[in-house]
Amino acid sequence: MNDFQVLAKGIALAGCAIGAGLALIAGIGPGIGEGNAVARACEAIGRQPECKGDVTSTLILGVALSETTGIYGFVTGLLLIFFAPGQFMKFLG
Confidence band, pLDDT 50/70/90 cuts, at residue 75: very high
State the Cα–Cα distance between residues 77 and 90, nearest whole angstrom.
20
Res. 93: pLDDT tops 90:
no
Residue 83, amino acid: F
Rounded CA gap, 29 and 39, in Å?
A: 16
pLDDT in tens, 47-63: 999 999 999 999 999 99
How would residue 8 be classed by pLDDT, with cut points 50, 70 and 90? confident
Whether the per-residue pLDDT at 1 is higher than 80: the answer is no
22-45: b or e for each residue (b if 16 or more CB lie within 10 Å)? ebbebbeebeebbeebeeebeebb
